[in-house]
A and B are shown apart, each in its own frame.
Chain A
Amino acid sequence: MPLDLHQAALKLGVSPATVQRWARQGRLGMVRPSGEFLFEERELQQWARNQGLKIRNELKKPQNVRALQDKPLSAALAKGAILHNVAGYTPGEVLSVLVELSPVTEDRNRTALLQQLIEREALASTALSAGVALPHPRAPSDAFTDAPIVVIAMLEQPVDWLALDGELVHTAILLLNPTAHEHLQVLSRLALVLREQKLVDALKARSSAEDIFGIIDSLEPSNG
């Protein structure tokens, strides 16, 4: 099937105006500048090869092929869980319970995940202000999940998470992401909603899973 001007421009990676100029200057030997711009694909490829130009067979897809979520945080939370009364006296104990309860792709990865979470805590505490901690592996990996997961765990008793502000942690929010890009997306949404006192109060008050999900969903701005 012959290509029109726009398709040819797309293939050559230039604008239609450039293709027109090349034709006018006689560089594209196979078209007459006066005639219609119709290109045989094979001829165009041959021409590009002779010029040393690369033909683009399809437009480069963005690295992240997953469809953009309207509300990435809510979607990740829906895939994850909201848990009450998670037991443990130290961050390590809390994390091992949290990992057991998380929907990880394969069970055999749980040990590795726990180890990574503990390593990350050793690097620097993940405790934010106001009694919330954000445990996550040091490097995003698709070994644990193939889509972003957020697990909110309200703790049985406050735990000393070595927070900078010295406050005890009452809620740990586990972040699991396959890529750095998705981690940034979910994290930025989380930072946004946690600035709202309403949500922090609801977490402190051990509100029901439905309430907390509802608050987060209403606070998270929509991409659409």
Chain B
Amino acid sequence: MARANIFHTRGARSEPWQLAGAALLVGIAASIVAMALRGSVHYLFDLSNELRSHWWGMLLLPAFGAMLGVFIIRVLFREPGGHGVPSVLEAVTRRGGHMRRRSIISRLLGSLFNVSAGGSAGLEGPIVYSAAAVGSSIANAMRMAERQRVLLLACGVAGGIGAIFNSPLTGMIFAMEVVLAEWTLGALLPIAISATVATEVPRALSLSTIEGPLQAAGSYTWNGADLLASGCLGLLAGLMSVALVVCIFRAEGITRKWKTNFATSNLGLVAGLAGLGVGAIGIFMPEAIGEGYGTIANILNGTTALSSALLLLLFAKLIATTLTLGSNAPGGIFAPSLVLGAILGYGFGGLLNVLFPAIAFADPSFFAIAAMAGLVAGSMQAPFTGIMLALESTGSWEGTLPLITVSVLSVLVSRTFLRHSFYTWELAERGELMRPGSDRRILSEIRVAELLDEESISITSGSTLDDLTRELPNTSRNQFAVVDESGRLLGMLSVTSLRGVIFDEVVRKVTSVDTVMDTTLPALKGESSLLEATDCFEECGAWVLPVVDADGMFMGTLSKSMLFDRYRRELIVQTADHLE
């Protein structure tokens, strides 16, 4: 009996180490990106505090920041607006992890001005975008293949989130749950390395992260009643997430309409108008605008008063976020979700104490943390990310069970109403959300030209059926292409349709292939994907279709049987994890 082969071949041994080394680099770079943005936002925010003390400064600053942000992204860098995570997902699913190098700074600069001026949005989306571009660029510099590039892009994302929240596990989970949508060992290892390194860099440099504001005041104790209450809170958090996502999408729709109606290709005007609205809210409720981590800090350390004003604040924050993100001003949904969650949970906890004074519920700030998890989970439809973010960033590990309860119920509610998450909506609507191993993904990656039948035979226009029968012994195929002298496709001939005439020698000699060819069959383009080819087969009901190049020259034929055969091979290769 042969000895069992328990060792990898040499090539397979070195690849994970190369990736690990690259992931280390990506982690450091992503961390630097995240720290630079956070530091500059705080610096600019403090700098502009003087202006904010006047009512006109409060009103105009967000508008100015939003317009500047949109101008930077759309005019200077010529990139689509918004928070950028859909572009990251698109890079993963459609472009082999390719992102432009300028994407490293475009959204950072844009969101820097928008958020520090008071726009109700987070920096995490832009950091995810930027760190993803860092990973992609490092992979490009190291001349890595597409799959490895996608992994390094995810490493960047994990590093960025890890660094900004001081939470390596959240970074890992977000990268796998939301960005890659796959859980394989081969992906986990480099992502873990990047997240770890990225989280350690700011600590080693003793830079403050947001560990401060999100850190819980102390440890909590909870009992069965709290768990039951968490169930209710989960449903509320789910509804709130749905409201947030729907409001932003409705607002985006209005923004698009304004853009076309008033022919302002520069979205800065709309964002500026929306920014005025944000500023107006800020005059009356400064806690509702900006990134909002100060608001969370006040809730977690219990300095925010438990009153009905919380309900007002909740709506103000929702509207401010809708205005900022719905007008395509640069910024992310992470921070607003956390702030909305904190307000919702805090108010919920306070209400519990009023409604059931006899029951000793946990501190309202504990519910605030649970609802933070719920809002993130619900709006991203990513329960694991929500749970881990709330646990790691607040350090409230004792609250695992209520947090899971809230997150899971929130996602359940969100999925009841929404077919896609905040991040995947845009791609899914365009039909471009193609998750690894899915049918559309596999079909879209294979080009028709890869599957050409080499044995396919063409016959020149003007030939007779007699000429065709002389070709028959040389091939096992039943379909022939009729081409002109230059090789341009004119039509198709199927031997089976010639049954009635092909055995009569005289008729064969007087019948030209042009007369009996089928010109109604559509021709596939060699550059098309199999996705288009399968649609074409389905529509015309044919078994074999001709394939032409961009100039209409005949390249070969594609048969359904070949398609199925190759599809299966591709499925085997694509669903196997090479890096495991």
List the interface of chain A (C-beta within 8 A of B). 50, 52, 54, 60, 63, 120, 123-129, 134, 136-140, 164, 180-181, 183-185, 187-192, 195
Say yes or no: B506 contacts A191, CB within 8 Å. Answer: yes
**Chain A residues with CB under 8 A of B500:** 184-185, 187-189, 191
Say yes or no: A180 contacts B510, CB within 8 Å. Answer: no
Say yes or no: A187 contacts B507, CB within 8 Å. Answer: yes
- Residue of B whose beta carbon sits closest to that of A140: B515
B454 within 8 Å of A (CB atoms): no
**Chain B residues with CB under 8 A of A125:** 510
Say yes or no: A129 contacts B517, CB within 8 Å. Answer: no
B50 within 8 Å of A (CB atoms): no
Say yes or no: B506 contacts A128, CB within 8 Å. Answer: yes
**Chain B residues with CB under 8 A of A189:** 500
Say yes or no: A129 contacts B512, CB within 8 Å. Answer: no
CA distance A125 to B276 in the complex (A): 84
CA distance A127 to B506 in the complex (A): 9
Q: Given A139-B514, A140-B515, are A124 and B464 neighbors across the interface (CB < 8 Å)?
A: yes
Interface centre among A139, A185, A192 (most CB of B within 10 A): A139
Say yes or no: A183 contacts B515, CB within 8 Å. Answer: yes
- Name B451-485 residues within 8 Å CB distance of A: 462, 464
Contacts A124-B464, A128-B507 supplied; 13 other A-B pairs, CB < 8 Å: A52-B440, A60-B541, A124-B512, A126-B510, A136-B515, A137-B515, A180-B491, A180-B519, A181-B518, A184-B497, A191-B500, A191-B506, A195-B504
Q: Given A123-B512, A126-B510, are A191 and B520 neighbors across the interface (CB < 8 Å)?
A: no
- Name B493-514 residues within 8 Å CB distance of A: 497-501, 504, 506-507, 509-512, 514
- Residue of B whose beta carbon sits closest to that of A127: B510
CA distance A141 to B335 in the complex (A): 67
CA distance A185 to B498 in the complex (A): 9
- Name B398-440 residues within 8 Å CB distance of A: 419, 439-440
Classify the secondary structure of B's interface with A: helix
Q: List 22 A-B contacts (CB under 8 A).
A: A54-B535, A63-B520, A123-B512, A128-B510, A134-B510, A136-B515, A137-B515, A139-B519, A180-B491, A180-B515, A180-B517, A181-B497, A181-B518, A184-B500, A184-B501, A184-B516, A187-B507, A188-B499, A188-B501, A191-B500, A191-B504, A191-B507
CB of B421 to closest CB in A, whole Å: 15
- Residue of A whose beta carbon sits closest to that of B502: A188
B565 within 8 Å of A (CB atoms): no
B551 within 8 Å of A (CB atoms): no
CA distance A191 to B499 in the complex (A): 12
CA distance A183 to B497 in the complex (A): 11
CA distance A184 to B498 in the complex (A): 7
CA distance A134 to B515 in the complex (A): 13
CA distance A96 to B516 in the complex (A): 24
CA distance A180 to B511 in the complex (A): 11
- Residue of A whose beta carbon sits closest to that of B509: A164
**Chain B residues with CB under 8 A of A137:** 515
CA distance A127 to B510 in the complex (A): 7
CB of A184 to closest CB in B, whole Å: 5
- Count residues of B near A (Cβ-Cβ below 8 Å): 28
- Residue of A whose beta carbon sits closest to that of B439: A52
Out of A136, A138, A140, A187, which one reaches B501, CB within 8 Å? A187
**Chain A residues with CB under 8 A of B514:** 138-139
CB of A123 to closest CB in B, whole Å: 6
CA distance A139 to B520 in the complex (A): 13
CB of B31 to closest CB in A, whole Å: 39
Interface centre among B439, B462, B504, B519 (most CB of A within 10 A): B504
- Residue of A whose beta carbon sits closest to that of B461: A138
**Chain A residues with CB under 8 A of B520:** 63
**Chain A residues with CB under 8 A of B464:** 124
CA distance A137 to B504 in the complex (A): 20
**B541-571 toward A: CB 8 Å interface, digit per residue (1/0)?**
1000000000000000000000000000000
Say yes or no: A180 contacts B516, CB within 8 Å. Answer: yes
Say yes or no: B498 contacts A180, CB within 8 Å. Answer: no
CB of A159 to closest CB in B, whole Å: 16
**Chain B residues with CB under 8 A of A63:** 520
**Chain A residues with CB under 8 A of B419:** 50
**Chain B residues with CB under 8 A of A139:** 514-515, 519
Q: Given A50-B419, A60-B541, A191-B501, are A129 and B516 neighbors across the interface (CB < 8 Å)?
A: no
CA distance A128 to B464 in the complex (A): 13
**Chain A residues with CB under 8 A of B518:** 180-181
**Chain A residues with CB under 8 A of B510:** 124-128, 134
**Chain A residues with CB under 8 A of B515:** 136-140, 180, 183
CA distance A180 to B504 in the complex (A): 18
CB of B500 to closest CB in A, whole Å: 3
Of all A-B residue pairs in the complex, the 8 with the closest CB atoms, nearest first, are: A188-B500, A191-B504, A191-B507, A128-B506, A188-B501, A126-B510, A180-B516, A60-B541
Interface centre among A60, A124, A125, A181 (most CB of B within 10 A): A124
CB of B507 to closest CB in A, whole Å: 4
CB of A32 to closest CB in B, whole Å: 20
**B516-543 toward A: CB 8 Å interface, digit per residue (1/0)?**
1111100000000000000100100100
**B351-393 toward A: CB 8 Å interface, digit per residue (1/0)?**
0000000000000000000000000000000000000000000
CB of A139 to closest CB in B, whole Å: 6
CB of A138 to closest CB in B, whole Å: 5
CB of A130 to closest CB in B, whole Å: 9
**Chain A residues with CB under 8 A of B504:** 188, 191-192, 195
- Residue of A whose beta carbon sits closest to that of B466: A124
Say yes or no: B516 contacts A183, CB within 8 Å. Answer: yes
- Residue of B whose beta carbon sits closest to that of A190: B507
CA distance A192 to B499 in the complex (A): 12
- Residue of B whose beta carbon sits closest to that of A138: B514
**Chain A residues with CB under 8 A of B516:** 180, 183-184, 187
CA distance A192 to B510 in the complex (A): 15
CA distance A63 to B521 in the complex (A): 10
- Residue of A whose beta carbon sits closest to that of B431: A52
